[in-house]
Structure 1
Amino acid sequence: MLNKERLREKLLCLLYTQRQNALDAADTAHDLATHEQSVAETQYDTVGLEAAYLAHGQSQRVADFDLTINRLKALPLQDFNQDDEIKLGAIVSLSGGMTCWFLPVCGGYKLEEDKIVVITPQSPLGQMLDGAEIEEILQDGREITDIC
């Protein structure tokens, strides 16, 4: 049985690291945009303007990470049994050895040495899994073998 709270902490750790990287990049771009050497000398000199756009984009990434982190923290983690339909929070095993964690955010992240892939309802696989049941054959031919 997988410990979902421990998995969530690992995923949060990845998100916090990426958030910090985006914050550092935003700070660096902001410093460049406001540096005295970035003042435009001609109409074609756009170093400061480009740095300002980059700083804004990185700041938006930080805000996106904050939203994702808060949504992940607020997600109630429940255990599922063999009779349950697949819904958000379920960890699903598929034939062929793939294990997915069905979450509303963080699609594409891999946990447990790449053994568990986070998928979202917006992904093609997530759309197939949403509401499915154990032993159901998905449109791509894989069978749901386990849920927890």
Structure 2
Amino acid sequence: MDKTWLHEQVLARLAEDLRQAEQAARTAHETATHEENIAENKYDTLGLEAAYLATGQVRRAEAIAQAMAGWRRFRPAAYDADRGIQLGAWVCLVDAAGQQQQLYVGPPGGTMSLTRGDQRVQVISPDAPLGQALLGKVEGDDVSLQLGASRQWFEVLWAA
């Protein structure tokens, strides 16, 4: 797996999410404006509810389109051990139980899990708690993350 493949997969998934959100917005709009859904009394709210849903779906589609634009502009720099983990880093962590996980730190809006063969990579943004905790870390560093009342510990095995 490489960064180019990860980038392409994120854009493909965002494009599919955008298509679905736009279709959902169209369907909700059609429901809201259909003549059979005109309110006959103050308790008949199907058309109003569909209008609220359509508005929400349009906002969701706009957010996905913004995320896609950010990912299209994004060009990850080569990993620099002097700067540590930054936007564009591909990282492998190990927890206290010895479980490894791979992460790719990308622009906001692309959080998802990608799989290629038996390799799984979680895409996160630097805005996420784990993304924030990783910034500046290098191979061998410990990373701690407070989640509610519990604290999780990881070690950076490698970064690329």
Fold match, TM over 0.5? yes
Q: 1:147 aligns with which of 111, 135, 159?
A: 159
Q: What is residue 131 of structure 2 aligned with on the other side?
A: 126
Alpha carbons 1:29, 1:52 under 8 Å: kept: yes
Instruction: Name the aligned partner's letter for residue 154 of structure 2.
Output: R
Report how far residue 122 of structure 1 moved: 2.2
- Overall identity of the aligned pairs, in %: 35
In the aligned structure 1, how far is the partner of 2:11 from the partner of 2:111? 14
In the aligned structure 2, how far is the partner of 1:42 from the partner of 1:105? 44
Moved over 3 A (4+): 81-84
Instruction: Name the aligned partner's letter for residue 123 of structure 2.
Output: V
Q: 2:121 aligns with which of 116, 122, 126?
A: 116
Alpha carbons 1:81, 1:147 under 8 Å: kept: no
Report how far residue 32 of structure 1 moved: 0.6
Report how far residue 112 of structure 1 moved: 2.2
TM-score after normalising by structure 2: 0.85
Higher strand proportion, which one? 2
In the aligned structure 2, how far is the partner of 1:14 from the partner of 1:144? 28
Q: What is residue 73 of structure 1 aligned with on the other side?
A: 72
In the aligned structure 1, how far is the partner of 2:133 from the partner of 2:6? 23
Alpha carbons 1:92, 1:99 under 8 Å: kept: yes
Report how far residue 10 of structure 1 moved: 0.8
Residues 27-61 of structure 1: per-residue CA shift (max 9 Å, x gap): 00000111100111001111111111111110111
Residues 53-107 of structure 1: per-residue CA shift (max 9 Å, x gap): 1111101111001000000111112221544411001001112311100112235
Q: What is residue 14 of structure 2 aligned with on the other side?
A: 15
SS at match of 2:153: coil
Q: What is residue 57 of structure 1 aligned with on the other side?
A: 56
How many equivalent residue pairs?
A: 147
* Structure 1: segments with no counterpart, 5+ residues: none
1:6 aligns with 2:5: yes
